[in-house]
Amino acid sequence: MIRKFLLLLVVIGLTGCAKPPKLDISLTLDKQKADLIFVKVKVVNMDDRATVPIAIELTGQAETNGHWDKSSSLLHPAAFVLNKGELREITKLWRVPADAARTTLTVKEQESGHLIKTERAEKVFVADAAPSTAKP
For 86-95, write each residue's pLDDT tens digit: 999 999 999 9
Whether 74 has a pLDDT exceeding 80, the answer reads: yes
Q: Which pTM was predicted?
A: 0.76
pLDDT at 97 (0 to 100): 92
- What is the mean pLDDT of the segment spanning 71-100? 95
**Reduced to 3 states, what is the DSSP secondary structure of residue 102?**
strand
User: pLDDT tens-digit profile of 109-119?
Assistant: 999 999 999 99
Q: What confidence category does residue 13 fall into, taking pLDDT thresholds of 50, 70 and 90?
A: low
Give the integer Cα–Cα distance in Å for 41 and 122: 15
User: pLDDT tens-digit profile of 39-55?
Assistant: 999 999 999 999 999 99
The share of the chain scoring above pLDDT 70, in percent, equals: 80
Per-chain mean pLDDT for the chain: 86
The share of the chain scoring above pLDDT 90, in percent, equals: 73
pLDDT at 9 (0 to 100): 59
pLDDT at 132 (0 to 100): 47
Give the integer Cα–Cα distance in Å for 46 and 113: 20
